[in-house]
Amino acid sequence: MRKIIIAGNWKLNKTIKEAVELVNGLKQDLAQAKEVDVVVCPVYTSLADVRNVVAGTNIGLGAQDLYWEDAGAFTGEVSGLMLKDAGVQYVIIGHSERRQFFGETDATVNKKIKAALNHGLIPIVCVGEVLAERESNKTFEVIKTQVTGAFAGYTADEMKKIIIAYEPVWAIGTGKTATGDQAQEVHKFIRDLLKKLYDEGTAQTVRIQYGGSVKPENTRELMSQPDIDGALVGGASLKRDQFVALVQNANVKK
């Protein structure tokens, strides 16, 4: 049985003080939430302070990106080596905002996954179609290209360490969530693809999160789907009461 994993992607939000305040609240409220894995992904400048709050708790720490080289003349970048050094356990790779605004491609995603695994970080690899692709019935084709490109050259053992996040771009920050059925259809497609690319055991091991306007009110429906193993949450992860309610609603029996 795959354990549900709820990750808050804070994106470009919160000063250090605000980040520490939020995570202190989460720590108080989620101390008992052991049935669900909980992760917060603040901006780089808050990582060390948030780590000090979550150390020794069941709340995991994630970063929002990394660079594939360990060190060198790459102004502005942060490496897997440095994230590990800062106490990070998870790293989001290939978020649609990075693809859209910062030139991320399946090829750069592929290299970043290697860097994350080399440093023992758990990659959360994002895939998802834009609205025009969905409307022209290209969703499966787009997802297949992204998944095969991201994981090209990776072994089954490596694949088992990776988390995939399906985030339909049209559902991100729009309040327009995919229905449970719509999301399940794509999650199943991804799992079937993993079975073809690897094997049944690998396909059944990999956790596939859904992302895009996840809120406390729609969490239960989404998490009840057989192939949805968690959520990557933007807006609703920035408010203590919402994120706590969302995590509580994610604890569904399947």
Pairing of strands 5-9, 37-41: parallel
Element (H, E) at 152: none
Q: Which of 233, 244, 247, 250 binds ligand 13P (CB under 6 A)?
A: 233
Which region among 17-25, 102-110, 206-214, 243-251 touches ligand 13P (by CB under 6 A)? 206-214
Using CB under 6 A as the binding rule, whether residue 94 contacts ligand 13P is answered as no
Respond yes or no: is residue 167 known to be catalytic. yes
Of 13 and 204, the one with the shorter C-beta distance to ligand 13P is 13
Burial of 51 (0-12, 13-18, 19+ CB in 10 A): middle
Using CB under 6 A as the binding rule, whether residue 234 contacts ligand 13P is answered as yes
Give the shortest CB-201-to-ligand 13P separation in angstroms. 28
Q: Among residues 2, 77, 4, 68, which one has the least CA distance to residue 44? A: 77
**Spatial separation of the C-alpha atoms in residues 202 and 197, rounded to whole Å:** 9
Cα separation values, 51 from 45, 66, 119, 242, 252, Å: 11, 17, 17, 21, 28
Using CB under 6 A as the binding rule, whether residue 167 contacts ligand 13P is answered as yes
Q: Which of 82, 122, 206, 232 binds ligand 13P (CB under 6 A)?
A: 232
Binding site for ligand 13P (CB under 6 A): 9, 95, 167, 172-173, 211-214, 232-236
